[in-house]
Amino acid sequence: MSTAIRTEKLGKIYRTGFFLRPYEGLADLDLEVPEGTAFGFVGPNGAGKTTTIKILMGLQSATSGRAWIHGQPVPAPASRRRVGFLPERPYFYDHLTAYEFMDFYASLSDLPSAGRDARIRALLARVELDRFARVPLNQFSKGMLQRAGLAQVLIADPDLLVLDEPMSGLDPMGRVLVRDIIIDERRRGKTVFFSSHILSDIESICDRVAMIVAGRLRGQGTIPELLGQTVNEVECVFQQGGQRIPQVVPPDGVDALIRRMQAEGAAVISVHPRQKTLEQVLMSEVERAKPVQAARLGVLA
Contacts of 51 (CB under 8 A, 6+ apart): 12, 25, 26, 60, 215
Residue 194 near other proteins by CB under 8 A: no
Candidates 87-95, 179-187, 233-241, 244-252: pick the segment binding other proteins (CB under 8 A).
Answer: 87-95
**Is 57 an interacting residue with respect to other proteins (CB under 8 A)?**
yes
Does 54 participate in binding other proteins (rule CB under 8 A)?
A: yes
User: How many residues are present in the chain?
Assistant: 301
If one asks whether residue 149 binds other proteins (CB under 8 A), the answer comes out as yes
Q: Rule CB under 8 A: is residue 108 a binding residue for other proteins? A: yes
Pick the stretch among 93-101, 212-220, 228-236, 262-270 that binds other proteins (CB under 8 A). 93-101
State CA 46 to chain mean position distance: 14
**Is residue 83 a contact point for other proteins (CB under 8 A)?**
yes
Cβ distance to other proteins smaller for residue 116 or 276: 116
Whether omega for the bond prior to residue 75 falls within 30 degrees of 0, making it cis, is yes
SS3 171: coil
Minimum CB–partner distance for residue 45 and other proteins (Å): 16
- 59 lines the binding site for other proteins (CB under 8 A): yes
Q: Which residues pair with 249 in a beta bridge?
A: 234
Q: Is residue 81 near other proteins by the rule CB under 8 A?
A: yes
Q: What distance, in Å, lies between the first and last C-alpha atoms of the chain?
A: 42
Q: Residue 100 CB: number of other CB atoms within 10 A?
A: 16
Q: Which amino acid is at 133?
A: A
- Of 117 and 225, the one with the shorter C-beta distance to other proteins is 117
Spatial CA neighbour of 201 closest among 239, 167, 162: 167
Does 26 interact with other proteins (rule: CB under 8 A)?
Answer: no
Residue among 193, 117, 208 nearest 153 (CA): 193
Q: By CB under 8 A, tell whether 60 contacts other proteins.
A: yes
Q: Does 93 bind other proteins (CB under 8 A)?
A: yes
Helix (H) or strand (E) holding 161: strand 160-164
In sequence order, the 6+-apart residues with CB closer than 8 A to the CB of 239 are 245, 266, 267, 269
Nearest residue (CB) to other proteins, 7 versus 152: 152
Does 109 contact other proteins by CB under 8 A?
yes
Nearest by Cα to 219 from 29, 11, 68, 49:
29
Give the total of residues touching other proteins (CB under 8 A).
32
Interaction mask 212-251, other proteins, x per CB under 8 A: ----------------------------------------
| Residue 107 sits in the site that holds other proteins (CB under 8 A) | yes
Q: Which residues pair with 151 in a beta bridge?
A: none
Query: Which stretches of the chain bind other proteins, using CB under 8 A?
Result: 14, 54, 57-61, 77-81, 83, 85-87, 89-93, 95-96, 100, 104-105, 107-110, 149, 152
